[in-house]
Structure 1
Amino acid sequence: MSAATADADFGASVPPGPGARRGSSAQARLILNRAQFLTKPLLRTAIDSLPGELRLMSGYHLGLWDEHGAETATGSGKGMRPALVFAATTAAGGSTESAVHAATAIELVHNFTLIHDDVMDRDALRRGRPTVWRVWGVDNAILVGDAMHGLAVRTLAEAPIPSPHSVVRLTDSVIELCLGQQRDCAFETRQHITLDDCLATVQQKTSSLLGCACVLGALAAGAAPAAVETMNRFGRELGIAFQLVDDLLGIWGDPARTGKPVGNDLIRRKRSLPVVATLTSGTPAGHELESLYRENHPLAPAEVARATELIVQAGGKQWAATQSQRYLHSAIAPLLDRPAAADLLHLADAVVHRDH
């Protein structure tokens, strides 16, 4: 349900735009590492509170142990959403300590959506290991995802200074991203999809949770309603930029870094944003890609290579790269004169300027 196919460090493949700051990628790694350090104890405590097999499967997904329960050092991804919570708290004048429960809750929600995503997409690998459903089956994967969702709400409700409004915002975000995922799945059987359709779905499926992360951070700082909504807009605009880059990586990402085959999204004939930009371009390349996408089988390697060429020829790749920069600039513009928002700006640049 969330857009997180790339779970490694940030790099720099999408060409930096005029708003990019030197050193943002390195600074973002420090911010991400700190967020993981701050949330790890509570995240581990939360997972340990789950009973039996639910604990085993959740911890496996998070990289805490293998399928037999033996401790590992696999890791649980970047931790970008918790980092956004802490950065938004700092930007709103709060302390990171006040946001630990919110950051942990958002990470649990994100990971429950990944488990369900893997089921719906039939993805066999995540972070270089078999996915939960591949190890324990679809039914168990659905159930452990549900359990992690419940655990997220409980964790947020148990914050030292609980905010009922935070719980409402988190649950509303989950409902919204579920709607986005439902619409995204429906696209697989629709022949005609517009870019506006896709962008609206991205707002729900991806942007809602990034916006929520920033909202929870602001609420943890006791921010005024106007400041909370500023954080929400930042996260939502950043979410669209994130998805555009994710879709580029789904076609051109390095398999050694993404953990996915070359052209993974094309193999599945996924209607990602660069693909839809091509299909609606009215160009000969767009018409040829439409013919390929009418096939009822996963695309063969030669077809994937041709589809990749067609997207470039029709301008779909360049459109997505340009739009990612536009949404990045829209997200950061209100924060450029705020020194306390420096962490948010570093994270925003690193989200867009990555190569995996």
Structure 2
Amino acid sequence: MLEVVNTTTIVTELGLDPADERHAEFAAGLRTGLSQVEERLQEVLRSPGYPDLTEAATHLVRAGGKRLRPLMALAGAAFGDGRDDAISAAVLVELVHVATLYHDDVMDEAPMRHRVKSANSLWGNKKAVLIGDYVLACAARVGAGLGDYALRQQAETFGRLVRGQFLETTGPFEDCGRHAPHEHHLQVMADKSASLIAMAGRLGAQVAGAHERIVETLGQYGELIGVAFQISDDVLDISASTADLGKSAGTDLREGIVTLPMLHALDDHGPDAARLREIVGHGPVPDPGLRREALDLLRESAGVERALAEAHGYAAKARDLALGLPDRPARALLVGLSAFVVDRGE
């Protein structure tokens, strides 16, 4: 997993040139900015006089994470004047993301998140939902300080996040929009994952006074990179170990969530595809033995390779958009990020 607060990793993993003075300065600025984001996250979530609420609300923040969304916000701000509001924009998008994790883990009955026990495992479902709601309230408070644009972006994005979760829960065969399974899953990814990454890029650029064309280009880039990132996550849920993931492998199978590599594998012919359809055709797969068998079948199928090919397609479009941005170190980072998000799944 990418530890984005490490300057060396930013330079080596995300396309920045350590020999380029501008790139090195930008990487150092990112490290400083991300450190400030960490401090602000803890500060915003603190509830004076209620230490138990503070502990629970900061639980997932303290556990770490990739901080992709704050990184996007700070990169977007680099195309403007980079004023201090960029830190607040980065904090806002990460708070919304963290809130969704509390809620997702309740819905998925997930025992782990970021290599620690999930909030629902520690405090129960009712408290975990309330903690997620509290984090959203804190995000709204930060958004209010950034003005009407931030509040509109937050409201629109949260609506899409809920719609994505709803569509994922109903599944492709109960989709009220009557999307085909492949189209359904792409819509889930766009709403549930890409929308917040797009918001991060837009908001970071907007608060820093970037040109409107750049703001919209970063939003489009975020939509594309977000889908590529989620496809990569879907692949990792199949191919990676629980230790590498920081959460239980095969979560999508356990919850009956049909992902892109699974859809491709189910479209195959032959006894392996038939057996896979037999295992997953009735929804969730709670039995650990059947889940291990399904994971083995998925790993041996062409589904993973086909899904990664789609991820590369989305990432390539994102890269093309990034190359159209002004020639600044942030552009090099976005180009590098377009490769990183899919390479992590291979």
Distance 1:290 1:193 in 2: 17
1:37 aligns with 2:25: no
Name the CA distance, whole Å, in 2 between partners of 1:180 and 1:296.
18
* Alpha-carbon shift at residue 9 of structure 1 (Å): 4.0
- CA distance change for structure 1 residues 307 and 329 in 2, over 3 Å: closer, same or farther? same
Check if 1:177 corresponds to 2:167: no
Letter in 2 for 1:55: T
Deviations 1:278-337 (A, max 9, x none): 223455543331111135663545534442343355521111111111110111102225
Partner of 1:62: 61
Structure 2 match to 1:24: 13
Unpaired segments of 5 or more residues in structure 2? 5-10, 18-26
Contact 2:225/2:314 (<8 A) preserved: yes
Q: 1:333: which partner in 2?
A: 320
104-113 or 300-309, larger mean C-alpha shift: 300-309
Structure 1 position 274, deviation (Å) = 0.5
Please identify, of 24-33 and 271-280, the stretch whose mean Cα deviation from structure 2 is larger.
Answer: 24-33
Partner of 2:95: 108
AA of the residue aligned to 2:43:
T
Residue-pair matches, total: 325
Give the whole-Å Cα distance in 2 for the aligned partners of 1:82 and 1:61: 15
Q: Which amino acid in structure 1 is aligned with residue 55 of structure 2?
A: L
Q: CA contact under 8 A between 2:253 and 2:284: conserved in structure 1? A: no
What stretches of structure 1 of length at least 5 have no aligned partner? Answer: 1-6, 11-21, 64-74
Equivalence for 2:24: none
- Note closer, same or farther for the CA distance 1:166–1:112 as it changes in structure 2 (3 Å cut): same
Task: Tell me what 2:45 maps to.
Answer: 47
* Counterpart pick for 2:214 among 227, 246, 251: 227
Matched letter for residue 58 of structure 1: A
Say whether the 8 Å CA contact 1:248–1:317 is kept in structure 2: yes
Provide the C-alpha distance between the structure 1 equivalents of 2:338 and 2:266, rounded to a whole number of angstroms: 29
What is the TM-score when the length of structure 1 is the normalising length? 0.81
2:339 to 321, 332, 349: 349
Sort the Cα spacing of 1:157 and 1:278 in 2 relative to 1 into closer, same or farther, 3 A: same
Cα displacement string for residues 107-149 of structure 1 (whole angstroms, at most 9, x for unaligned residues): 1111000000110000011122221122222111111111111
Q: 2: CA distance between counterparts of 1:58 and 1:276?
A: 36
- 2:227 is paired with a residue whose SS is helix
Residue 88 (str. 1) matches residue 41 (str. 2): no
Q: CA deviation at 1:272?
A: 1.3
Q: Distance in 1 between matches of 2:47 and 2:217?
A: 35
Aligned to 1:164: 148
| Aligned partner letter, 2:74 | F
2:216 aligned partner, one-letter code: E
Aligned to 1:203: 190
Distance 2:310 2:205 in 1: 27
Counterpart of 1:83, as a letter, is L
> Which letter maps to 2:340?
A
Identity of counterpart residues, as a percentage?
27
Deviation at 1:265, TM superposition (A): 3.0
- Which has the larger helix fraction? 2
1:231-261 CA-partner distances (Å, limit 9, x unpaired): 1100000011001100000011132221234
- C-alpha contact 1:265 1:272 (8 A) present in aligned 2: yes
Q: Relative to structure 1, is the Cα distance of residues 331 and 31 closer, same or farther in structure 2, using a 3 angstrom cutoff? A: farther
- Is the alpha carbon distance of 1:310 and 1:226 closer, same or farther for their aligned partners in structure 2, counting shifts above 3 Å? same
Matched, 1:137 2:135: no
**What is the identity, as a one-letter code, of the residue corresponding to 2:167?**
R
Write the deviation string for residues 5-55 of structure 1: whole angstroms up to 9, x where unpaired.
xx6648xxxxxxxxxxx9334859978744431212322221124662432
Q: 1:96: Cα distance to partner?
A: 5.3
Task: State the alpha-carbon separation in 2 of the partners of residues 202 and 262 from structure 1.
Answer: 19
1:287 correspondence with 2:274: yes
Q: Evaluate the alpha carbon distance shift between residue 57 and residue 292 of structure 1 in structure 2; reply closer, same or farther with a 3 A threshold.
A: same
CA contact 1:8–1:257 (8 Å) conserved in 2: no
Where 1:62 maps in the other structure, the secondary structure is helix
Give yes or no for contact 2:15–2:332 (8 Å, CA) kept in 1. no
RCO (CA 8 Å, sep 6+): is it higher in 1 or 2? 1
Q: After superposition, give the CA deviation of every residue in 1:143-185 in whole Å (9 maximum; x if it has no partner).
A: 1111111111211222xxx331121011110111110001101
